[in-house]
Structure 1
Amino acid sequence: MKQDGSIALFHYWNRLRDGRPAPKRTEIEPADIKTLLADTFILERDTRSEAVFRLAGSRLCAAHGRELKGFSFPSLWQDRDRKLVGRLVQGVFESSNVVVIAFEGISNSQRSNPFEMIILPLEGGADNPRCLGAVSAVQKPFWLGADPIVEARIVSVRVVDPDAEPLFLKNRPAIDVPALSPTELPSVQDRGMAGSRRIRHLLVLDGGRD
């Protein structure tokens, strides 16, 4: 976790939860994070058990050139990443994982820009799980917001237990995403994934670089 927006939202969320797995969604006060709202989003699980946008900030929608409310969250990602993204979000819904994703956003004109995303669990009950997130542009090129992002490509993923280390260091190394096809992806288990190993508070996904 390196971007100021991710760090600020994590600290706000961590303060609200006060030792619980997650704060209640009713505890989130937009006024408290007004400087972050343009880049934040809330996901919920629909009747197909897929993560969809319940809310999305104005800058996030502008970057994609459309209103994201109601859109499938995995649909924003390239085909090879969609199942992994879906399972990472299910881990947030079901196991209160905190997920940080570094990714490249590819525009309609095939320009690219690096981004960081954080996804944090919210307590909404077993029948109505939700999560809070934010997207931060690592760089802010002139075209961002005018040339829509049409595809996101994962660079690295970090799944963190916030109880083990609540304060993230900016220089903490990320974990390279393994080159897995959708049929080879492991399933989410409590605070982790099958075919993985834990090093301190980090969940390492087995695999190699492309």
Structure 2
Amino acid sequence: MNFEGTIALFQYWNRLRDGRPAPRRTEVEPADIKTLLADTFILEKDTRDEAVFRLAGTRLCAIYGRELKGFSFPSLWREKDQRLMARLTHGVLRQKSVLLLGYEGFTRSGRSNPFELLALPLDGGAEHPRCLGAISMAEKPFWLGAEPIVDAVIDSIRVIDPDKEPMFLANRPAIPVPSLAPTELETPQTMSEYGRVRRIRHLVVLEGGRDEQPMD
């Protein structure tokens, strides 16, 4: 993790869980992370079993130029990567894995900014899986919030089972991938399947999660 916001949220979540796979969602107190709230979000599954925003901070809504509540989380990424993002999010919500994602966000005019996303599982019971997350950035250019982010390209992915790797980020480094399309929004396909350890075009994905069986 590179940014203060994601580090602070992970440390808070790790204290709450106290050795469990995830803390209960009722244990999260907004007052405890009030300085992070503008950049945080909570995801849940809708009736179609798709990850959607239950809550989203004001700065996140401003960055994307709309109210994100009820909005599909995978749809923030380009169509070619949405299947991957759906599977990664499923791992957080259903298998209690931790997701750390580096990505580049683009506006319609081609401006871009790097972001770091952290998604952490919450124990809401089998019927109400949720996760707590944050999107952080090293720089806040003058145009951010005035020109909405409309596209995103994944730079690195890290999926971790907290039980198997209790020392977060101790064993497996994040995997960088080449930057895509600095001037155009359309790029070659980045992902068609998601597996245990798989290289597809420029992207390497490591499977995480508690279940050793492939996800349907």
TM-score by length of 1: 0.85
Post-superposition CA distance 1:95-151 (Å, at most 9, x none): 100000100110132200000000000001111100000000122111111111111
What is the SS of the residue equivalent to 1:153?
strand
Write the letter of the residue equivalent to 1:117. L
The residue that corresponds to 2:125 in the other structure is 125
Alpha-carbon distance in 1 for matches of 2:107, 2:175: 25
Q: CA deviation at 1:207?
A: 3.8
The residue that corresponds to 1:206 in the other structure is 199
Deviating runs (4+, > 3 A) in structure 1? 165-169, 176-182, 205-208
In the alignment, structure 1 residue 21 sits paired with structure 2 residue 3? no
Identity of aligned residues (%): 61
C-alpha contact 1:103 1:153 (8 A) present in aligned 2:
yes
Write the letter of the residue equivalent to 1:48. R
| More strand, by proportion | 1
Q: CA deviation at 1:166?
A: 3.2
Q: CA deviation at 1:208?
A: 4.8
Post-superposition CA distance 1:49-94 (Å, at most 9, x none): 1000000000000001111001000111111110000000000011
What is the SS of the residue equivalent to 2:91?
helix
Alpha-carbon distance in 1 for matches of 2:196, 2:159: 14
Alpha-carbon distance in 2 for matches of 1:162, 1:11: 13
More moved, 81-90 vs 157-166: 157-166
The residue that corresponds to 2:167 in the other structure is 166
Alpha-carbon distance in 1 for matches of 2:32, 2:39: 14
Gaps of 5+ in 1: 187-193, 197-204
C-alpha contact 1:177 1:208 (8 A) present in aligned 2:
no
The residue that corresponds to 1:82 in the other structure is 82
C-alpha contact 1:176 1:209 (8 A) present in aligned 2:
no
C-alpha contact 1:14 1:166 (8 A) present in aligned 2:
no
Alpha-carbon distance in 1 for matches of 2:190, 2:155: 15
Gaps of 5+ in 2: 179-187, 204-216
What is the SS of the residue equivalent to 1:149?
coil
C-alpha contact 1:177 1:207 (8 A) present in aligned 2:
no
Aligned pairs for 1:7-86 (under 5 A) are 7-86=7-86
C-alpha contact 1:121 1:131 (8 A) present in aligned 2:
yes
Alpha-carbon distance in 2 for matches of 1:46, 1:161: 24
Write the letter of the residue equivalent to 2:199. D
More moved, 116-125 vs 134-143: 134-143
Write the letter of the residue equivalent to 2:167. P
TM-score by length of 2: 0.83
What is the SS of the residue equivalent to 1:86?
helix
